[in-house]
A and B are shown apart, each in its own frame.
Chain A
Amino acid sequence: MPEIVLEMKNITKRFPLVVANDKVNFSVYKGEIHALVGENGAGKTTLMSILYGLYQADSGEILINDKKIRITNPNIAIKLKIGMVHQHFMLVPPLTVTENVILGMEPKKNNIFIDIENATKKVKEISEGIGFKIDPNAKIESISVGIQQRVEIIKVLYRGAEILVMDEPTAVLTPQEVEELFGILNSLKKQGKTIIFITHKLNEVQAISDRITVMRRGKVVGVKKTSETNKEEIASMMVGRKVIFKVKKNEHNFGKNVLKVSKLNALNNKGLPALKDISFEIKEGEILGIAGVEGNGQTELVEVITGLRKAKSGKISIYERNITNDSPREIKEEKIAHIPEDRRQRGIISQFNVSENLILGSHYDKPFNNGMSLNLNIINKHADKLIKEYDIRPSDKDNLLKSLSGGNQQKVIVARELFGNPIILIAAQPTRGLDVGSIEFVHQQIINERDKNKGVLLVSADLDEILSLSDRIAVIYEGKIAAILDPKKTNQKELGLLMTGSVQNKKTNLEEVKK
């Protein structure tokens, strides 16, 4: 019988609107890699935040090495040798690697000043101990996401952690970086560390974990040995029903060019080149997927096409009409629908109600506006209609958007954008953070647009999504199109290599462009 290092018993945690953890029992063996899986909102992160002292459980108890303990803040967790690598990195961008590592546990000299030399040495030692090099004096804002994650791991090890909690660590990594991470995790396991690995990606669960705990809607629905189960079983435990992994998509012929982008150049927020001579086109009835590691120009590309960012040079046209550097309103009037990447900041106004959000972008125009004042009657009817059509819940049009779930907020956006028969749909990270039901819904809407012969530009960090939806895939790397591929003739591994610039000069695997 393996030794139980951590046990959480009957943990219950309520938030104002939900019970995030409902009498959860969770136990971990010493030296194992334990996957904690479940959909978004299943309560995994809440459970781990309770373990780490960020939240207090309303009831239940935590035992470490059979000793009952109370963890009221992260300091206690750190003393108990628990470390957490958060999904959103907890790193302070303008500070250096070393400063981030020592924060809260700074070595001192003369009892007053930070002993920065000593700290730097320590950071180097730890990183080399698990097999990689890092510049301790680099600022976080200047290093890649993959390296930032390593800083997070160093941070945890610096505090002497024996139990490491990794919250969705692969969400931001390329397939190659994921492999490297797994290498690091395995070497940590060899050193006798215990790792709790939160994820909803079942391939990874299979690849790395020893045991699996599945959560659904705040409850634990099962614990399995990885070797004794399979992907399908875990998936149905997660969702509570059978899940279809494949999106159904009919073969059909594409039409004329709808959107044409040529030699596009633009700067990012720091004034550095973000897009370098980007060219591509989308045909009627085609989904072009843009694959890439985040921060390689996808955000800027979508912003330039939709008028939210100025192009430095190059040309964007819709059916031969030049729309380069037109205002967002002018471009919207060309019937471009846009599901923005940043749902909460861009896509909705959380303090506006559903009906007000459903007219954003067309509020100034007939029929919602008659010259001076808003046509509230028509606006309300419009809202009722779309709420019904898209099954937005709750169905009250006067609800503020902030009170809706992420999935329903996304439905509001989709309903608004697809209204009025757009000719192009630009969908950026359209399913990020959504539950399985909402993901299926959004995917279906995207396919529908394609089948109605619209052009679709799909930007996603989720390679599964890209591979299953796209008719063609453009890989973007450092602001350039690294390759344009046929999804049927490529795979995650090849995409990953192209996305990281590990393979270059592969322009296309398409033998011909279908007319």
Chain B
Amino acid sequence: MKSNNNINVYSFLEKITPLIAVMFALLVGAIVILIIGEDPIFVYKVLFSNALGSKVGWGNVLFRSTPLIFTGLTVAFAFRCGLFNIGGEGQMYIGTFFATWVGFTFTNLPSFLLIPLCIIAAATGGALWAAVPGILKAKSGVHEVIVTIMMNWIAASLTFYLVLQFKAPPTEAMKAAGVKQMIPHTREIAEAARLPRIYHLLKSINIDFPSYVQANVSFFIAIAVAMLVYYILWKTNLGYEIRAVGYSPLAAEYGGINVSRNIVLAMVISGALAGLVATNEVMGFKYRWRQELFTGYGFNGIAVALLGKNHPFGVVLAAILFGVLNYGGAIVNIFTGGRIPRELIMVLQAVIVIFVVISDEIVKRIIRKRRKTA
């Protein structure tokens, strides 16, 4: 009975460690804000009230969470197969470029064809990019961590090259002013390839929502994908095999599971998930591909996955939390006249990660102490 109680305490503590980690990170953030000479209570009030206190806030939070759900799932899925895919950034680059290219190339297609086609292109791009480290890992045993990072930088150069090949022609206004594109970008994708905003959906059922909020249908795609990932991992043969390989490749091999095949598959699916960022960033927001070195979604996906304990539903919650921090952080930056750089949020994310990873061990030690004294 006693040990049963302890197991309950343990599983409870384990479940709330992400919360404790977040609290701790906010505390560290408060200290940093104090050092800068600002008032942490005021800053956090601005941050949370703006992010959560209105439709605009919520809309923006969901908009910012969406890519993080995809990249968080990217990391979590690979992790279930024992792989560290920290190349979500590069896979996202290639996937979004593929989707954009389809979007501005097949402009004659109707929506019901073009939208799925763009989504498939996005997934394919990410999958292809992740297949390289996957195959190298499966066939030659090259550690995926270094390869995925290298692939990020290669993707950055490759997409830079590609965007110059498909550069949008200068607009009339630019011609008149005699300026060039500051940041290289492609032509816009066809209207038919664009996803409706939440504003459009709510308008159709007569609910008021600000039209300028960029939250779009992609958020719902992300939720559906998270559910699909859950189903694959825990309810299918593929998921069983991927998890078996992740926990013990030797036992999986013994159980007749093709380890190499599952490693490649897990990477490919993981990369496809990263590519799906295109639904939010290209099909739902910018409608084009812009050269911006490392938006950070891929990397922040790592933090999201860890905070979400590599579980698809945890990932969704963690992504929403990071959406709150990102959007609130941007507002704080404006509110304080730039005195609090928004990169503070990145620092907080790193602190969250560190604390999440050490919290498991802390919980274990607490339990061990309790058992001993019991």
Which A residues contact B (CB, under 8 angstroms)? Answer: 14, 16-17, 58, 306, 308, 327-329, 332, 338, 340, 342, 345-352, 356, 360-361, 363-364, 369, 372-374, 376
| Neighbouring A residues of B37 by C-beta, 8 Å | none
Contact between B258 and A360 (Cβ–Cβ < 8 Å)? no
CB-CB contacts below 8 Å: B5-58 with A: none
| Neighbouring A residues of B237 by C-beta, 8 Å | 363-364, 369, 372-374
* A352, closest chain B residue (CB): B247
Contact between A376 and B235 (Cβ–Cβ < 8 Å)? yes
Q: Which of B66-74, B142-150, B248-256, B288-296 contacts A (4 or more CB under 8 A)?
A: B248-256
* A369, closest chain B residue (CB): B237
Q: How far is the CA of A399 from the CA of B372 in the complex (A)?
A: 22
Contact between B256 and A327 (Cβ–Cβ < 8 Å)? yes
From residue B363, how far is it (CB to closest CB) to chain A in Å?
A: 13
Contact between A363 and B254 (Cβ–Cβ < 8 Å)? no
| Neighbouring B residues of A369 by C-beta, 8 Å | 237
Contact between B247 and A373 (Cβ–Cβ < 8 Å)? no
Which B residues contact A (CB, under 8 angstroms)? Answer: 3, 231, 235-237, 240-241, 243-244, 247-248, 250-258, 367-368, 371-372
Q: How far is the CA of A349 from the CA of B255 in the complex (A)?
A: 10
Contact between A16 and B251 (Cβ–Cβ < 8 Å)? no
Contact between A332 and B240 (Cβ–Cβ < 8 Å)? no
Contact between A328 and B254 (Cβ–Cβ < 8 Å)? yes
Give the A-B contact count at a CB cut-off of 8 A. Answer: 73
From residue B249, how far is it (CB to closest CB) to chain A in Å?
A: 9
Contact between B255 and A360 (Cβ–Cβ < 8 Å)? yes
Contact between B247 and A328 (Cβ–Cβ < 8 Å)? no
From residue A252, how far is it (CB to closest CB) to chain B in Å?
A: 31
Q: How far is the CA of A306 from the CA of B251 in the complex (A)?
A: 13
| A/B interface sample: 19 pairs, CB < 8 A | A17-B3, A306-B254, A308-B253, A328-B254, A328-B255, A328-B256, A338-B254, A345-B251, A349-B251, A349-B252, A356-B240, A360-B244, A360-B251, A361-B254, A361-B255, A363-B240, A363-B241, A363-B255, A372-B236
Q: How far is the CA of A273 from the CA of B208 in the complex (A)?
A: 76
Contact between A347 and B254 (Cβ–Cβ < 8 Å)? yes
Contact between B247 and A346 (Cβ–Cβ < 8 Å)? no
From residue B229, how far is it (CB to closest CB) to chain A in Å?
A: 14
From residue A401, how far is it (CB to closest CB) to chain B in Å?
A: 10
From residue A338, how far is it (CB to closest CB) to chain B in Å?
A: 7
| Neighbouring B residues of A14 by C-beta, 8 Å | 372
Decide: A373 near B235, CB < 8 A? Known: A14-B372, A17-B3, A352-B247.
Answer: yes
| Neighbouring B residues of A363 by C-beta, 8 Å | 237, 240-241, 255
Decide: A349 near B256, CB < 8 A? Known: A373-B237, A376-B235.
Answer: no
| Neighbouring A residues of B247 by C-beta, 8 Å | 349-352
Q: How far is the CA of A361 from the CA of B237 in the complex (A)?
A: 11
Contact between B253 and A328 (Cβ–Cβ < 8 Å)? yes
Q: How far is the CA of A435 from the CA of B269 in the complex (A)?
A: 45
| Neighbouring B residues of A329 by C-beta, 8 Å | 256-258
| Neighbouring A residues of B372 by C-beta, 8 Å | 14, 16, 58
Please give 7 more A-B residue pairs, beta carbons under 8 A apart, in addition to A346-B250, A356-B240, A373-B231: A308-B254, A340-B254, A346-B251, A350-B247, A363-B237, A363-B240, A364-B237
* B370, closest chain A residue (CB): A16
* A376, closest chain B residue (CB): B235
Q: How far is the CA of A489 from the CA of B352 in the complex (A)?
A: 69
Q: How far is the CA of A345 from the CA of B255 in the complex (A)?
A: 12
